[in-house]
């Protein structure tokens, strides 16, 4: 019997694929997903392979751990994907508060992985997203007002934020990336939790509230600007790939394409 899955907040293509014992490529092909970096909350996805129930998670059966030495360019999300565990579990096992900052050469405990089990290759490696296409200019006066408000509050160029939001989500609060990033500026759940606990000191609703989502995104960009000496290009690169690779001087090819597109969009639609 054919299966379907309704996309929910917090879902990602890799999470859905693991749940049903499928691959990201199979789901992308079966559903004709043009941009695998965005899935929409509420959409129904066909799942290949038949069967009635999601594949049972093996996470509860895992009781051991391995260690991993952080390499230049690593991010916590990439390490978690490689080992098939959650960022939350790795952070908890290692006492990591800032999920966006890990140090090359440090050793991490990876919980829930048998020492004899090699780390699976991350599924995103097997799929190359299409090149970024120059987007149409979005129009939503409410979103624009939010961006202007928080950019003023946090000392960020609002035109850069508008361009970043255009590439990230098309100013759509319902946008959900394959990695689980949510909303207008595509806030990752781990980033949201870190901001709530360590920056704002209270809970926000980045899943359903565009206002809270933009507030988080602009604040996070302002922190990245502080961490990169006010360099907009480095801050935007870190927004995409994480701060640790940027500190290490690593810029992936897709990061370079992303940064160039952000500033092309800004200079075209919101020139200073």
pLDDT tens for residues 152-198? 999 999 999 999 999 999 999 988 876 678 889 998 887 888 899 88
- Residues 83 and 11 placed together within one structural domain of the fold: no
Distance CA 237, CA 256 (A): 7
- Pull the structure tokens for residue 268: 């075209």
pLDDT interval class at 211 (50, 70, 90): very high
pLDDT interval class at 49 (50, 70, 90): confident
In a domain, 129, yes or no: no
- Residues 150 and 254 placed together within one structural domain of the fold: yes
Instruction: Answer with the one of 71, 90, 120 that is the final residue of a domain.
Output: 120
- Residues 211 and 112 placed together within one structural domain of the fold: no
CA distances from 234 to 75, 223, 245, 251 (A): 16, 12, 11, 10
- Residues 166 and 247 placed together within one structural domain of the fold: yes
Question: What is the model's pLDDT at position 63?
Answer: 47
- Residues 147 and 263 placed together within one structural domain of the fold: yes
Window from 5-9, 118-122, 257-261 with minimum mean pLDDT = 118-122
In a domain, 110, yes or no: yes
pLDDT in tens, 100-117: 777 766 778 888 765 554
Q: Let me know the angle formed at the C-alpha of 15 by 245 and 66, rounded to the nearest 5 degrees.
A: 60
Question: What is the model's pLDDT at position 131?
Answer: 67
In a domain, 11, yes or no: yes
- Residues 243 and 202 placed together within one structural domain of the fold: yes
C-alpha closest to that of 263 among 129, 144, 134: 134
User: At 46, which helix (H) or strand (E)?
Assistant: strand 44-47
In a domain, 132, yes or no: no
- Residues 37 and 156 placed together within one structural domain of the fold: no
Distance CA 74, CA 247 (A): 11
Whether the pLDDT of residue 119 is over 70: the answer is no
- Pull the structure tokens for residue 94: 């290692």
Average pLDDT of every residue of the chain:
80
In a domain, 136, yes or no: no
Boundaries of domain holding 104: 59-120
Q: Which residues of 226-265 are buried (b: 16+ CB within 10 A; e: fewer)?
A: ebbeeebebbbbbbbbbbbbbbeebbeeebeebbebbbeb
Highest mean pLDDT among 67-76, 114-123, 206-215: 206-215
Whether the pLDDT of residue 212 is over 70: the answer is yes
In a domain, 95, yes or no: yes
- Residues 182 and 70 placed together within one structural domain of the fold: no
Residue 202, exposed/middle/buried by CB under 10 A (0-12, 13-18, 19+)? exposed
In a domain, 127, yes or no: no
- Residues 10 and 66 placed together within one structural domain of the fold: no
- Residues 249 and 177 placed together within one structural domain of the fold: yes
Q: Average pLDDT for residues 65-76, to the nearest whole number?
A: 73
- Residues 63 and 39 placed together within one structural domain of the fold: no
CATH number at residue 148: 1.10.530.10
In a domain, 131, yes or no: no
C-alpha closest to that of 219 among 170, 147, 126, 163: 147
- Residues 158 and 188 placed together within one structural domain of the fold: yes
CATH number at residue 23: 3.10.350.10
Give the count of domains, the chain.
3
């Amino acid at each position: 019997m054919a299966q379907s899955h309704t996309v929910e907040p917090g879902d990602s293509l890799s999470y859905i694929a693991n749940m049903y014992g499928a691959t990201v490529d199979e789901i992308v092909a079966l559903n004709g997903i043009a941009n695998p970096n965005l899935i929409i909350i509420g959409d129904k996805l066909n799942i290949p392979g038949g069967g009635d129930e999601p594949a049972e998670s093996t996470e509860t059966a895992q009781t051991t751990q391995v260690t991993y030495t952080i390499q230049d360019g690593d991010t916590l999300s990439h390490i978690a994907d490689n080992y098939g565990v959650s960022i939350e579990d790795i952070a908890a096992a290692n006492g990591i508060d800032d999920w966006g900052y890990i140090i090359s050469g440090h050793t991490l405990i990876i919980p829930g992985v048998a020492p004899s089990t090699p780390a699976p290759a991350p599924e995103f490696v097997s799929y190359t997203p299409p090149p970024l296409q120059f987007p149409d200019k979005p129009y939503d006066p409410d979103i624009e007002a939010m961006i202007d408000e928080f950019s003023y509050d946090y000392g960020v160029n609002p035109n850069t934020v508008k361009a970043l939001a255009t590439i990230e989500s098309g100013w759509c609060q319902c946008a959900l990336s394959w990695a689980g990033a949510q909303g207008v500026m595509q806030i990752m759940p781990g980033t949201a939790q870190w901001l709530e606990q360590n920056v704002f000191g209270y809970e926000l609703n980045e899943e359903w509230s565009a206002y809270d989502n933009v507030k988080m995104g602009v604040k996070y960009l302002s922190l990245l600007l502080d961490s990169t000496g006010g360099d907009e290009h480095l801050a935007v690169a870190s927004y995409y790939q994480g701060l640790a690779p940027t500190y290490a001087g690593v810029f992936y090819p897709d990061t370079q394409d992303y940064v160039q597109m952000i500033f092309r969009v800004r200079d075209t639609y919101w020139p200073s």
